[in-house]
Chain A
Amino acid sequence: IQLTQSPSILSTSVGDRVTITCRASQGISSSLAWFQQKPGKAPELLIYAASTLQSGVPSRFSGSGSGTEFTLTISSLQPEDFATYYCLQNNSYPFTFGQGTPLEIK
C-alpha cells in the first residue's frame, strides 16, 4: 500500500492553521497514524487510528479521515511544531510510511 502526502513541503508561520493530507493507494479503514520528527531525533507518535490523540500530545493536533484520504491538522502552529510529519498505514503488512512533509518557517 502506497501513501502519498501533500504538500511535499509547507512554508508556514506561527499561528497558522496547517493541514497535511495523506492518501492511500487502497482503502485502509482507519488504520493510519501520524508522527512528528525533529532533526536528529526519533519520531514521536501524535495520532493513531486516524483520529485518536496520543496521550500527552497537545490538543491543537487533530486527525481525521478513513478509507483512502486522511488529514492532520494543527489548529494554531507553535514554534516547536516546525518539524517533519509522516503518516503510516498499519492496516496490512508490510506497513508503509508516507514520504514526509517538512514544515518550514515562512
Chain B
Amino acid sequence: QVQLVESGGGVVQPGRSLRLSCAASAFTFSNSGMHWVRQAPGKGLEWVAVISSDGSHKYYADSVKGRFTISRDNSRNTLYLQMNSLRVEDTAVYYCAGDMDVWGKGTTVTVSS
C-alpha cells in the first residue's frame, strides 16, 4: 500500500546538524509536491517546507529559512530535510507528506544539551 517512512531523527545538541529522510513506496513520488510538517511536544502542527515534483521550487517557513534545506531524489523515491544550526525550539515530531494527502508516521528530533 501507499507508504511514506521517515527516518534520521534523534537527539542532537544545539547548533549541530541532522538530516531527515522520507522513503516513498507504492506512491507516485515523482509527480507529487512533498512537504515537511512538524509538531512540537503538546503543540499544534507547523508547516515547515515544500518542494515541487521536479525539485525546481522550494519554500520554507520563516522559522527555518536559512537553516533547513529540503531536497529530493526522484530516482530513489526519497525526500530529505537537511537541518543545520538546530535550536531547542526545533524539537518536534517531523512528518513528511505527499500533496498533503499521504503522510508518514513521523520521526522525532530532540535538540538538547
Chain A interface residues (CB < 8 Å from chain B): 33, 35, 37, 41-45, 48, 54, 84, 86, 88, 90, 93-100
Chain B interface residues (CB < 8 Å from chain A): 35, 37, 44-47, 50, 59-62, 95, 100-101, 103-106
Distance in angstroms from A28 CB to nearest chain B CB is 14
Which chain B residues lie closer than 8 Å to A42 at the CB level?
95, 103-106
**Taking CB as reference atom, which chain A residue is nearest B62?**
A94
CA gap between A102 and B23 in the complex, in Å = 31
B100 in complex: contacting residue of A45, A96, A98, CB < 8 Å: A45
Interface of B is mostly: strand
Which chain B residues lie closer than 8 Å to A37 at the CB level?
45
A44 B103 Cβ-Cβ under 8 A: yes
> Given known contacts A33-B100, A94-B61, is B45 in contact with A100 (CB within 8 Å)?
yes
Distance in angstroms from A38 CB to nearest chain B CB is 12
> Given known contacts A45-B101, A93-B50, is B61 in contact with A86 (CB within 8 Å)?
no
CA gap between A33 and B45 in the complex, in Å = 13
> Given known contacts A42-B95, A97-B45, A100-B44, is B100 in contact with A90 (CB within 8 Å)?
yes
CA gap between A86 and B95 in the complex, in Å = 15
**Taking CB as reference atom, which chain B residue is nearest A96?**
B47
CA gap between A5 and B61 in the complex, in Å = 20
Distance in angstroms from A31 CB to nearest chain B CB is 11
CA gap between A95 and B99 in the complex, in Å = 13
B50 A95 Cβ-Cβ under 8 A: yes
> Given known contacts A42-B95, A43-B95, is B47 in contact with A94 (CB within 8 Å)?
yes
**Taking CB as reference atom, which chain B residue is nearest A97?**
B45
B47 A43 Cβ-Cβ under 8 A: no
CA gap between A58 and B105 in the complex, in Å = 22
Distance in angstroms from A41 CB to nearest chain B CB is 8
Q: Name the residue among B45, B104, B105 with the largest chain A CB count within 10 angstroms.
A: B45
